[in-house]
Protein backbone atom coordinates (compact mmCIF):
# COMPACT_ATOMS: atom_id res chain seq x y z
CA UNK A 1 0.00 0.00 0.00
CA UNK A 2 1.48 3.37 -1.04
CA UNK A 3 1.33 6.86 0.44
CA UNK A 4 -1.45 8.90 -1.31
CA UNK A 5 -0.53 11.18 -4.19
CA UNK A 6 -0.49 14.94 -3.66
CA UNK A 7 -3.93 16.48 -4.50
CA UNK A 8 -3.75 18.15 -7.90
CA UNK A 9 -5.44 21.13 -9.60
CA UNK A 10 -6.65 22.74 -6.37
CA UNK A 11 -9.02 25.65 -7.11
CA UNK A 12 -10.78 28.02 -4.67
CA UNK A 13 -13.78 30.27 -5.40
CA UNK A 14 -15.13 32.63 -2.72
CA UNK A 15 -18.75 33.72 -3.11
CA UNK A 16 -20.52 36.51 -1.21
CA UNK A 17 -23.61 35.18 0.58
CA UNK A 18 -24.96 38.31 2.31
CA UNK A 19 -24.03 41.68 3.81
CA UNK A 20 -24.74 42.88 7.37
CA UNK A 21 -25.25 46.67 7.45
CA UNK A 22 -25.17 46.84 11.25
CA UNK A 23 -21.50 45.90 11.57
CA UNK A 24 -20.59 46.44 7.91
CA UNK A 25 -19.46 42.80 7.47
CA UNK A 26 -19.89 40.25 4.71
CA UNK A 27 -20.42 36.48 4.88
CA UNK A 28 -18.64 34.30 2.33
CA UNK A 29 -18.66 30.64 1.27
CA UNK A 30 -15.38 29.29 -0.12
CA UNK A 31 -15.88 26.48 -2.66
CA UNK A 32 -12.89 24.16 -3.25
CA UNK A 33 -12.26 21.79 -6.18
CA UNK A 34 -9.46 19.29 -6.95
CA UNK A 35 -8.82 16.40 -9.34
CA UNK A 36 -9.86 12.82 -8.56
CA UNK A 37 -6.73 10.68 -7.94
CA UNK A 38 -6.16 7.23 -9.40
CA UNK A 39 -6.22 5.69 -5.91
CA UNK A 40 -8.55 7.59 -3.55
CA UNK A 41 -7.23 8.08 0.02
CA UNK A 42 -9.20 7.44 3.19
CA UNK A 43 -9.88 11.16 3.70
CA UNK A 44 -8.67 14.71 2.99
CA UNK A 45 -7.83 17.35 5.61
CA UNK A 46 -8.46 20.96 4.53
CA UNK A 47 -7.00 23.97 6.37
CA UNK A 48 -7.99 27.63 5.80
CA UNK A 49 -5.58 30.31 7.11
CA UNK A 50 -5.74 34.13 6.93
CA UNK A 51 -2.84 36.55 6.51
CA UNK A 52 -2.53 39.41 9.04
CA UNK A 53 -6.03 38.88 10.43
CA UNK A 54 -7.70 38.03 13.71
CA UNK A 55 -9.34 34.99 12.12
CA UNK A 56 -8.31 31.62 13.55
CA UNK A 57 -7.46 28.74 11.15
CA UNK A 58 -10.43 26.65 10.04
CA UNK A 59 -10.08 22.84 9.63
CA UNK A 60 -12.33 20.53 7.63
CA UNK A 61 -12.13 16.75 6.94
CA UNK A 62 -13.91 15.24 3.92
CA UNK A 63 -14.21 11.74 2.41
CA UNK A 64 -11.45 10.38 0.20
CA UNK A 65 -14.02 9.93 -2.59
CA UNK A 66 -14.76 13.69 -2.65
CA UNK A 67 -13.37 16.11 -5.23
CA UNK A 68 -14.92 19.27 -3.78
CA UNK A 69 -15.75 20.86 -0.44
CA UNK A 70 -17.31 24.04 0.95
CA UNK A 71 -16.02 26.14 3.83
CA UNK A 72 -19.09 28.14 4.85
CA UNK A 73 -19.91 31.21 6.93
CA UNK A 74 -16.57 33.00 6.69
CA UNK A 75 -17.19 36.48 8.12
CA UNK A 76 -15.14 39.38 6.68
CA UNK A 77 -15.40 42.96 7.96
CA UNK A 78 -15.16 46.05 5.76
CA UNK A 79 -11.57 46.60 6.91
CA UNK A 80 -10.62 43.09 5.73
CA UNK A 81 -11.76 43.19 2.10
CA UNK A 82 -8.16 42.95 0.95
CA UNK A 83 -7.30 40.13 3.34
CA UNK A 84 -5.40 37.28 1.69
CA UNK A 85 -6.03 33.68 2.65
CA UNK A 86 -4.45 30.30 2.00
CA UNK A 87 -6.10 26.92 1.52
CA UNK A 88 -4.08 23.76 2.25
CA UNK A 89 -5.25 20.21 1.44
CA UNK A 90 -3.55 16.92 2.42
CA UNK A 91 -4.60 13.32 1.61
CA UNK A 92 -4.44 10.65 4.32
CA UNK A 93 -4.54 6.82 4.15
CA UNK A 94 -3.39 3.88 6.28
CA UNK A 95 0.03 4.13 4.60
CA UNK A 96 0.58 7.78 5.60
CA UNK A 97 -0.14 11.26 4.27
CA UNK A 98 0.57 12.96 0.96
CA UNK A 99 2.45 16.13 0.21
CA UNK A 100 0.29 19.22 0.81
CA UNK A 101 -1.25 21.28 -2.01
CA UNK A 102 -1.82 25.00 -1.34
CA UNK A 103 -3.45 27.99 -3.02
CA UNK A 104 -3.40 31.72 -2.12
CA UNK A 105 -6.29 34.11 -2.83
CA UNK A 106 -7.91 37.39 -1.76
CA UNK A 107 -11.59 37.80 -1.07
CA UNK A 108 -13.83 38.95 -3.94
CA UNK A 109 -14.16 42.73 -3.45
CA UNK A 110 -16.89 43.32 -6.02
CA UNK A 111 -19.43 43.93 -3.25
CA UNK A 112 -19.05 47.38 -1.61
CA UNK A 113 -22.16 48.90 0.02
CA UNK A 114 -23.42 52.10 -1.64
CA UNK A 115 -22.78 55.20 0.48
CA UNK A 116 -25.57 57.33 1.88
CA UNK A 117 -24.60 60.24 -0.41
CA UNK A 118 -26.33 60.87 -3.70
CA UNK A 119 -23.08 60.65 -5.70
CA UNK A 120 -20.64 57.81 -6.18
CA UNK A 121 -17.09 58.22 -5.00
CA UNK A 122 -14.03 57.17 -7.01
CA UNK A 123 -13.77 53.78 -5.30
CA UNK A 124 -17.34 52.89 -6.22
CA UNK A 125 -16.78 53.83 -9.86
CA UNK A 126 -13.59 51.78 -9.97
CA UNK A 127 -15.35 48.78 -8.44
CA UNK A 128 -18.18 48.99 -10.96
CA UNK A 129 -15.63 48.88 -13.77
CA UNK A 130 -13.12 46.46 -12.26
CA UNK A 131 -15.66 44.05 -10.74
CA UNK A 132 -17.05 42.64 -14.02
CA UNK A 133 -13.52 42.47 -15.45
CA UNK A 134 -12.39 40.37 -12.49
CA UNK A 135 -15.44 38.14 -12.83
CA UNK A 136 -14.79 37.58 -16.54
CA UNK A 137 -11.12 36.89 -15.82
CA UNK A 138 -12.09 34.31 -13.19
CA UNK A 139 -14.42 32.55 -15.64
CA UNK A 140 -11.68 32.48 -18.30
CA UNK A 141 -9.17 31.12 -15.77
CA UNK A 142 -11.54 28.34 -14.65
CA UNK A 143 -12.35 27.43 -18.26
CA UNK A 144 -8.65 27.24 -19.13
CA UNK A 145 -7.95 25.14 -16.05
CA UNK A 146 -10.79 22.75 -16.99
CA UNK A 147 -9.53 22.52 -20.58
CA UNK A 148 -5.96 21.67 -19.61
CA UNK A 149 -7.12 19.16 -16.98
CA UNK A 150 -9.22 17.39 -19.63
CA UNK A 151 -6.27 17.47 -22.03
CA UNK A 152 -3.91 15.90 -19.48
CA UNK A 153 -6.48 13.22 -18.61
CA UNK A 154 -6.94 12.41 -22.29
CA UNK A 155 -3.18 12.14 -22.85
CA UNK A 156 -2.87 9.78 -19.86
CA UNK A 157 -5.66 7.61 -21.21
CA UNK A 158 -4.09 7.49 -24.70
CA UNK A 159 -0.73 6.56 -23.18
CA UNK A 160 -2.38 3.78 -21.15
CA UNK A 161 -4.08 2.23 -24.17
CA UNK A 162 -0.91 2.55 -26.23
CA UNK A 163 1.08 0.65 -23.59
CA UNK A 164 -1.71 -1.91 -23.27
CA UNK A 165 -1.72 -2.43 -27.03
CA UNK A 166 2.06 -2.92 -27.05
CA UNK A 167 1.68 -5.70 -24.47
CA UNK A 168 -0.81 -7.63 -26.62
CA UNK A 169 0.98 -10.51 -28.36
CA UNK A 170 1.37 -10.16 -32.15
CA UNK A 171 -1.04 -13.06 -32.62
CA UNK A 172 -3.81 -11.04 -30.96
CA UNK A 173 -3.06 -7.99 -33.11
CA UNK A 174 -3.19 -10.21 -36.20
CA UNK A 175 -6.54 -11.62 -35.13
CA UNK A 176 -7.89 -8.10 -34.60
CA UNK A 177 -6.62 -7.16 -38.04
CA UNK A 178 -8.79 -9.88 -39.54
CA UNK A 179 -6.06 -12.17 -40.85
CA UNK A 180 -6.92 -15.85 -41.03
CA UNK A 181 -3.77 -17.03 -39.25
CA UNK A 182 -0.70 -15.77 -37.43
CA UNK A 183 1.92 -18.00 -38.99
CA UNK A 184 4.00 -14.94 -39.92
CA UNK A 185 4.95 -14.47 -36.25
CA UNK A 186 8.55 -15.58 -35.62
CA UNK A 187 8.78 -18.60 -33.33
CA UNK A 188 10.82 -18.59 -30.12
CA UNK A 189 12.40 -21.47 -28.20
CA UNK A 190 9.07 -22.32 -26.56
CA UNK A 191 7.13 -22.72 -29.80
CA UNK A 192 6.48 -26.29 -30.99
CA UNK A 193 4.53 -27.95 -33.76
CA UNK A 194 1.19 -29.33 -32.48
CA UNK A 195 2.08 -32.65 -34.10
CA UNK A 196 4.61 -33.16 -31.27
CA UNK A 197 1.72 -33.52 -28.82
CA UNK A 198 -0.40 -36.57 -27.98
CA UNK A 199 -3.55 -35.26 -26.29
CA UNK A 200 -5.52 -37.58 -23.97
CA UNK A 201 -8.41 -37.16 -21.52
CA UNK A 202 -9.67 -34.06 -19.68
CA UNK A 203 -8.22 -33.64 -16.19
CA UNK A 204 -9.54 -30.17 -15.42
CA UNK A 205 -11.93 -27.49 -16.62
CA UNK A 206 -12.25 -23.76 -15.95
CA UNK A 207 -14.50 -20.88 -16.95
CA UNK A 208 -13.17 -20.66 -20.50
CA UNK A 209 -10.48 -23.34 -20.71
CA UNK A 210 -9.77 -27.05 -20.54
CA UNK A 211 -6.78 -28.97 -19.22
CA UNK A 212 -6.00 -32.37 -20.74
CA UNK A 213 -3.40 -34.95 -19.90
CA UNK A 214 -1.01 -35.76 -22.72
CA UNK A 215 2.51 -36.41 -23.93
CA UNK A 216 5.12 -34.25 -25.60
CA UNK A 217 7.58 -35.87 -28.01
CA UNK A 218 10.94 -34.20 -27.43
CA UNK A 219 13.83 -33.96 -29.89
CA UNK A 220 14.89 -37.51 -28.96
CA UNK A 221 11.36 -38.80 -29.64
CA UNK A 222 10.94 -39.57 -25.95
CA UNK A 223 7.50 -39.15 -24.40
CA UNK A 224 7.26 -36.55 -21.64
CA UNK A 225 4.08 -36.59 -19.56
CA UNK A 226 2.50 -33.12 -19.66
CA UNK A 227 -0.70 -31.18 -18.99
CA UNK A 228 -2.08 -29.27 -21.98
CA UNK A 229 -4.23 -26.19 -21.44
CA UNK A 230 -6.50 -24.99 -24.22
CA UNK A 231 -9.44 -22.65 -24.74
CA UNK A 232 -12.99 -23.80 -25.23
CA UNK A 233 -14.73 -23.30 -28.56
CA UNK A 234 -15.54 -19.76 -29.72
CA UNK A 235 -13.49 -17.75 -27.18
CA UNK A 236 -14.01 -14.00 -26.94
CA UNK A 237 -11.24 -11.52 -27.73
CA UNK A 238 -10.82 -10.82 -24.01
CA UNK A 239 -10.40 -14.54 -23.34
CA UNK A 240 -7.84 -14.84 -26.15
CA UNK A 241 -5.94 -11.84 -24.83
CA UNK A 242 -5.87 -13.29 -21.30
CA UNK A 243 -4.70 -16.67 -22.65
CA UNK A 244 -1.80 -15.10 -24.57
CA UNK A 245 -0.88 -12.96 -21.57
CA UNK A 246 -0.73 -16.13 -19.47
CA UNK A 247 1.71 -17.61 -22.01
CA UNK A 248 3.86 -14.46 -21.89
CA UNK A 249 4.04 -14.43 -18.09
CA UNK A 250 4.90 -18.14 -17.90
CA UNK A 251 7.68 -17.59 -20.45
CA UNK A 252 9.10 -14.74 -18.40
CA UNK A 253 9.16 -16.56 -15.04
CA UNK A 254 12.37 -18.59 -14.53
CA UNK A 255 11.98 -22.21 -13.47
CA UNK A 256 11.43 -22.82 -9.75
CA UNK A 257 10.83 -26.11 -7.87
CA UNK A 258 7.57 -24.81 -6.36
CA UNK A 259 6.07 -23.37 -9.56
CA UNK A 260 4.44 -25.33 -12.36
CA UNK A 261 6.89 -24.89 -15.25
CA UNK A 262 6.12 -24.15 -18.87
CA UNK A 263 7.28 -26.96 -21.18
CA UNK A 264 6.21 -25.52 -24.53
CA UNK A 265 3.44 -23.58 -26.25
CA UNK A 266 1.58 -23.33 -29.54
CA UNK A 267 0.67 -19.78 -30.61
CA UNK A 268 1.01 -19.84 -34.40
CA UNK A 269 -2.24 -21.56 -35.26
CA UNK A 270 -5.91 -20.90 -34.67
CA UNK A 271 -5.94 -23.01 -31.48
CA UNK A 272 -3.27 -21.84 -29.02
CA UNK A 273 -2.02 -24.31 -26.40
CA UNK A 274 -0.06 -24.06 -23.15
CA UNK A 275 2.01 -27.16 -22.32
CA UNK A 276 3.12 -27.45 -18.69
CA UNK A 277 4.65 -30.14 -16.50
CA UNK A 278 2.24 -32.81 -15.25
CA UNK A 279 1.64 -33.23 -11.51
CA UNK A 280 0.39 -36.78 -10.99
CA UNK A 281 -1.55 -36.36 -7.73
CA UNK A 282 -3.69 -33.48 -8.93
CA UNK A 283 -4.74 -30.41 -7.00
CA UNK A 284 -4.20 -30.06 -3.25
CA UNK A 285 -7.86 -29.49 -2.38
CA UNK A 286 -9.03 -32.74 -3.99
CA UNK A 287 -6.02 -34.61 -2.59
CA UNK A 288 -6.77 -33.49 0.98
CA UNK A 289 -10.46 -34.31 0.70
CA UNK A 290 -9.74 -37.82 -0.59
CA UNK A 291 -7.27 -38.34 2.25
CA UNK A 292 -9.93 -37.23 4.74
CA UNK A 293 -12.41 -39.70 3.26
CA UNK A 294 -9.86 -42.50 3.72
CA UNK A 295 -9.23 -41.49 7.34
CA UNK A 296 -12.96 -41.40 7.98
CA UNK A 297 -13.40 -44.86 6.43
CA UNK A 298 -10.66 -46.30 8.63
CA UNK A 299 -12.17 -44.76 11.74
CA UNK A 300 -15.71 -45.91 10.88
CA UNK A 301 -14.65 -49.51 10.20
CA UNK A 302 -12.59 -49.56 13.39
CA UNK A 303 -15.58 -48.29 15.42
CA UNK A 304 -17.85 -50.94 13.86
CA UNK A 305 -15.37 -53.72 14.65
CA UNK A 306 -15.05 -52.59 18.26
CA UNK A 307 -18.83 -52.47 18.73
CA UNK A 308 -19.19 -56.00 17.26
CA UNK A 309 -16.33 -57.51 19.28
CA UNK A 310 -15.32 -55.90 22.60
CA UNK A 311 -12.06 -57.93 22.53
CA UNK A 312 -11.09 -56.40 19.16
CA UNK A 313 -7.64 -54.80 19.04
CA UNK A 314 -6.97 -52.43 16.15
CA UNK A 315 -3.76 -51.82 14.28
CA UNK A 316 -4.47 -49.77 11.19
CA UNK A 317 -1.16 -50.70 9.59
CA UNK A 318 -2.25 -54.39 9.43
CA UNK A 319 -6.04 -54.24 9.39
CA UNK A 320 -6.32 -52.22 6.20
CA UNK A 321 -4.89 -52.84 2.76
CA UNK A 322 -1.92 -50.92 1.51
CA UNK A 323 -4.16 -49.13 -1.01
CA UNK A 324 -6.32 -47.85 1.85
CA UNK A 325 -3.30 -46.30 3.56
CA UNK A 326 -1.63 -44.71 0.55
CA UNK A 327 -1.68 -40.96 0.11
CA UNK A 328 -2.76 -40.16 3.65
CA UNK A 329 -0.47 -37.27 4.56
CA UNK A 330 1.03 -37.07 8.02
CA UNK A 331 1.30 -33.81 10.00
CA UNK A 332 4.87 -33.31 8.79
CA UNK A 333 3.67 -33.66 5.18
CA UNK A 334 1.03 -30.97 5.69
CA UNK A 335 3.49 -28.52 7.26
CA UNK A 336 5.89 -29.31 4.41
CA UNK A 337 3.14 -28.51 1.88
CA UNK A 338 2.63 -25.11 3.52
CA UNK A 339 6.37 -24.41 3.58
CA UNK A 340 6.80 -25.30 -0.09
CA UNK A 341 3.93 -22.97 -1.01
CA UNK A 342 5.62 -20.19 0.97
CA UNK A 343 8.86 -20.79 -0.99
CA UNK A 344 7.01 -20.50 -4.30
CA UNK A 345 5.17 -17.34 -3.24
CA UNK A 346 8.36 -15.78 -1.89
CA UNK A 347 9.90 -16.31 -5.33
CA UNK A 348 6.89 -14.77 -7.12
CA UNK A 349 7.02 -11.80 -4.75
CA UNK A 350 10.72 -11.31 -5.56
CA UNK A 351 9.71 -11.03 -9.23
CA UNK A 352 7.10 -8.38 -8.28
CA UNK A 353 4.26 -10.69 -9.31
CA UNK A 354 1.02 -11.12 -7.41
CA UNK A 355 -1.01 -14.32 -7.77
CA UNK A 356 -4.53 -13.03 -6.85
CA UNK A 357 -6.02 -16.54 -6.59
CA UNK A 358 -3.85 -18.48 -4.15
CA UNK A 359 -5.92 -21.43 -2.90
CA UNK A 360 -5.60 -25.20 -2.42
CA UNK A 361 -7.33 -25.78 -5.77
CA UNK A 362 -4.48 -23.91 -7.49
CA UNK A 363 -1.69 -25.94 -5.89
CA UNK A 364 -0.68 -29.22 -7.56
CA UNK A 365 1.06 -32.26 -6.05
CA UNK A 366 3.70 -34.38 -7.77
CA UNK A 367 4.34 -38.09 -7.24
CA UNK A 368 7.13 -37.37 -4.74
CA UNK A 369 4.88 -35.06 -2.66
CA UNK A 370 6.46 -31.90 -3.99
CA UNK A 371 3.84 -29.18 -4.38
CA UNK A 372 3.80 -26.59 -7.13
CA UNK A 373 1.78 -23.39 -7.47
CA UNK A 374 -0.27 -23.24 -10.66
CA UNK A 375 -2.21 -20.52 -12.48
CA UNK A 376 0.43 -17.93 -11.61
CA UNK A 377 0.36 -17.14 -15.32
CA UNK A 378 -2.76 -15.13 -14.48
CA UNK A 379 -0.67 -13.01 -12.10
CA UNK A 380 -0.15 -9.30 -12.52
CA UNK A 381 3.13 -7.42 -12.69
CA UNK A 382 3.29 -4.86 -9.88
CA UNK A 383 6.86 -3.70 -10.37
CA UNK A 384 5.99 0.00 -10.57
CA UNK A 385 4.15 0.61 -7.30
CA UNK A 386 3.57 -2.88 -5.87
CA UNK A 387 -0.20 -2.40 -6.22
CA UNK A 388 -2.65 -3.78 -8.78
CA UNK A 389 -6.20 -2.42 -8.88
CA UNK A 390 -8.71 -4.72 -10.58
CA UNK A 391 -11.04 -2.66 -12.74
CA UNK A 392 -12.71 -5.35 -14.83
CA UNK A 393 -15.67 -7.50 -13.88
CA UNK A 394 -15.89 -11.26 -13.58
CA UNK A 395 -16.09 -13.85 -10.83
CA UNK A 396 -13.71 -13.46 -7.92
CA UNK A 397 -12.67 -15.97 -5.19
CA UNK A 398 -14.33 -13.99 -2.39
CA UNK A 399 -13.61 -16.49 0.44
CA UNK A 400 -9.87 -16.30 -0.24
CA UNK A 401 -9.67 -12.55 -0.79
CA UNK A 402 -8.11 -10.00 1.55
CA UNK A 403 -10.25 -7.28 3.08
CA UNK A 404 -8.76 -4.50 0.91
CA UNK A 405 -9.28 -6.62 -2.22
CA UNK A 406 -12.98 -6.99 -1.39
CA UNK A 407 -13.54 -3.32 -0.60
CA UNK A 408 -11.19 -1.47 -2.97
CA UNK A 409 -10.24 -4.12 -5.59
CA UNK A 410 -6.59 -3.60 -4.63
CA UNK A 411 -4.20 -6.56 -4.83
CA UNK A 412 -0.66 -6.65 -3.43
CA UNK A 413 1.83 -9.28 -2.30
CA UNK A 414 0.37 -8.76 1.19
CA UNK A 415 -3.12 -9.62 -0.09
CA UNK A 416 -1.55 -12.88 -1.31
CA UNK A 417 -0.37 -13.38 2.29
CA UNK A 418 -4.00 -13.16 3.48
CA UNK A 419 -4.93 -15.81 0.89
CA UNK A 420 -2.08 -18.00 2.15
CA UNK A 421 -3.61 -17.82 5.64
CA UNK A 422 -6.86 -19.19 4.18
CA UNK A 423 -4.90 -21.87 2.29
CA UNK A 424 -3.14 -22.86 5.53
CA UNK A 425 -6.57 -23.24 7.16
CA UNK A 426 -7.59 -25.47 4.20
CA UNK A 427 -4.52 -27.66 4.76
CA UNK A 428 -5.10 -28.01 8.51
CA UNK A 429 -8.79 -28.88 8.00
CA UNK A 430 -8.02 -31.36 5.19
CA UNK A 431 -9.67 -29.42 2.37
CA UNK A 432 -12.59 -27.75 4.12
CA UNK A 433 -14.37 -24.79 2.54
CA UNK A 434 -13.49 -21.54 4.36
CA UNK A 435 -16.06 -19.70 6.49
CA UNK A 436 -18.46 -22.62 7.01
CA UNK A 437 -22.06 -21.62 7.57
CA UNK A 438 -21.52 -18.07 6.28
CA UNK A 439 -23.29 -16.89 3.14
CA UNK A 440 -21.12 -15.02 0.64
CA UNK A 441 -23.07 -11.77 1.06
CA UNK A 442 -22.56 -11.95 4.84
CA UNK A 443 -18.77 -12.35 4.66
CA UNK A 444 -17.62 -8.75 4.12
CA UNK A 445 -19.61 -7.21 7.03
CA UNK A 446 -18.39 -10.06 9.24
CA UNK A 447 -14.72 -9.46 8.40
CA UNK A 448 -15.05 -5.67 8.66
CA UNK A 449 -16.36 -6.02 12.19
CA UNK A 450 -13.19 -7.92 13.16
CA UNK A 451 -14.37 -11.54 13.07
CA UNK A 452 -12.02 -14.31 11.90
CA UNK A 453 -12.39 -18.09 11.64
CA UNK A 454 -12.03 -20.07 14.88
CA UNK A 455 -8.98 -22.23 15.57
CA UNK A 456 -9.48 -25.76 14.18
CA UNK A 457 -9.59 -28.29 17.01
CA UNK A 458 -6.56 -30.21 15.70
CA UNK A 459 -4.45 -27.05 15.32
CA UNK A 460 -2.03 -25.62 17.90
CA UNK A 461 -2.23 -22.05 19.16
CA UNK A 462 1.10 -21.30 17.46
CA UNK A 463 -0.07 -22.46 14.03
CA UNK A 464 -3.40 -20.64 14.46
CA UNK A 465 -1.50 -17.46 15.38
CA UNK A 466 0.20 -17.62 11.96
CA UNK A 467 -3.22 -17.73 10.27
CA UNK A 468 -4.50 -14.79 12.33
CA UNK A 469 -1.39 -12.73 11.53
CA UNK A 470 -2.02 -13.34 7.83
CA UNK A 471 -5.59 -12.05 8.36
CA UNK A 472 -4.64 -8.70 9.90
CA UNK A 473 -6.86 -5.91 8.57
CA UNK A 474 -3.81 -3.76 7.85
CA UNK A 475 -1.61 -5.23 5.08
CA UNK A 476 1.47 -3.74 6.75
CA UNK A 477 0.82 -5.81 9.88
CA UNK A 478 0.87 -9.12 7.99
CA UNK A 479 4.08 -11.18 7.76
CA UNK A 480 6.00 -11.27 4.50
CA UNK A 481 6.57 -14.55 2.67
CA UNK A 482 10.26 -14.30 3.63
CA UNK A 483 9.25 -14.14 7.30
CA UNK A 484 6.81 -17.02 6.84
CA UNK A 485 9.59 -19.15 5.34
CA UNK A 486 11.68 -18.74 8.50
CA UNK A 487 8.65 -19.59 10.66
CA UNK A 488 7.86 -22.80 8.76
CA UNK A 489 11.50 -23.89 8.78
CA UNK A 490 11.21 -23.84 12.57
CA UNK A 491 7.81 -25.56 12.60
CA UNK A 492 9.12 -28.52 10.61
CA UNK A 493 11.60 -29.32 13.37
CA UNK A 494 8.84 -29.93 15.94
CA UNK A 495 5.83 -30.61 13.76
CA UNK A 496 4.08 -32.97 16.19
CA UNK A 497 3.60 -30.10 18.63
CA UNK A 498 1.60 -28.04 16.16
CA UNK A 499 -0.76 -30.35 14.26
CA UNK A 500 -2.69 -33.52 15.12
CA UNK A 501 -4.25 -35.89 12.60
CA UNK A 502 -5.57 -38.47 15.08
CA UNK A 503 -9.12 -38.71 13.77
CA UNK A 504 -10.42 -39.93 17.13
CA UNK A 505 -9.52 -36.55 18.60
CA UNK A 506 -11.13 -34.51 15.84
CA UNK A 507 -14.91 -34.25 15.97
CA UNK A 508 -15.77 -34.22 12.26
CA UNK A 509 -18.13 -36.20 10.07
CA UNK A 510 -17.08 -38.14 6.99
CA UNK A 511 -18.36 -35.38 4.74
CA UNK A 512 -16.96 -32.54 6.76
CA UNK A 513 -14.93 -31.30 3.82
CA UNK A 514 -17.99 -30.49 1.79
CA UNK A 515 -20.59 -29.16 4.22
CA UNK A 516 -20.31 -28.56 7.97
CA UNK A 517 -16.60 -27.90 8.19
CA UNK A 518 -15.65 -27.72 11.84
CA UNK A 519 -17.83 -25.31 13.83
CA UNK A 520 -19.64 -22.23 12.62
CA UNK A 521 -17.94 -20.17 15.30
CA UNK A 522 -15.69 -17.18 14.74
CA UNK A 523 -13.21 -15.26 16.83
CA UNK A 524 -13.35 -11.53 17.54
CA UNK A 525 -10.80 -9.88 19.83
CA UNK A 526 -10.12 -13.12 21.67
CA UNK A 527 -13.77 -14.06 22.16
CA UNK A 528 -15.54 -16.95 20.42
CA UNK A 529 -18.90 -16.02 18.92
CA UNK A 530 -21.48 -18.28 17.24
CA UNK A 531 -22.69 -17.17 13.82
CA distance 484 to 496: 19
CA distance 146 to 206: 47
- 357 assigned to active site: yes
CA distance 501 to 273: 41
8-state DSSP, 38: S
CB atoms under 10 Å from CB of 397, counted, come to: 16
Pairing of strands 58-63, 43-50: antiparallel
Neighbouring residues of 7: CB distance < 8 A, sequence distance ≥ 6: 34, 35, 37, 44, 89, 90, 91, 98, 101
CA distance 447 to 399: 11
Residue 229 in marked binding region: yes
CA distance 318 to 313: 11
Contact 339, 485 (CB under 8 A): yes
367 alpha carbon, distance to own chain's centre: 32
Neighbouring residues of 510: CB distance < 8 A, sequence distance ≥ 6: 293, 296, 297, 300
Q: CA 216, 220, 222, 226 torsion: positive or negative?
A: negative
CA distance 292 to 327: 10
Torsion of CA 276, 280, 286, 290, to 10 degrees: 180
Among the listed residues 14, 283, 357, 375, the single catalytic one is: 357
Torsion angles phi and psi, residue 75, rounded to 5? -90, 130
CA distance 62 to 86: 18
Contact 500, 506 (CB under 8 A): yes
Torsion of CA 348, 352, 357, 362, to 10 degrees: -20
Torsion angles phi and psi, residue 214, rounded to 5? -170, -170
CA distance 528 to 271: 53
Instruction: Write out the DSSP string of 118-180.
Output: SS--HHHHHHHHHHHHHHHHHHHHHHHHHHHHHHHHHHHHHHHHHHHHHHS-HHHHHHHHT-S
Catalytic site residues? 357
Tell me the binding residues. Answer: 229
Tell me the binding residues for ATP. Answer: 229
Amino acid sequence: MCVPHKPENLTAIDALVDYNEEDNSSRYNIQLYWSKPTYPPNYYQIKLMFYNSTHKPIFLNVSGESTNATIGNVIVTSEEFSVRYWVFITAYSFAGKSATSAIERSFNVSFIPVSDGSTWNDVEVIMIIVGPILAIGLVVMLAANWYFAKKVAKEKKLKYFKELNEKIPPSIITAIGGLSSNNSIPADNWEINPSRLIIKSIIGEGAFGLVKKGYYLDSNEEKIEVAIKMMKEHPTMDEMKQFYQEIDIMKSVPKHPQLVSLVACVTRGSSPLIVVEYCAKGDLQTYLRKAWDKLSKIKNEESFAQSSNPQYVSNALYDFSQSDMTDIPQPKDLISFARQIVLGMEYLASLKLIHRDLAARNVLICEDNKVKISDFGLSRDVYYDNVYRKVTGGKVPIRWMALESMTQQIYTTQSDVWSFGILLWEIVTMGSTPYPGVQTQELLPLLRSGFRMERPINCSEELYAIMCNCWNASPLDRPTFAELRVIFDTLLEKVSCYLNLDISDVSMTQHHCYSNTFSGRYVKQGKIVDV
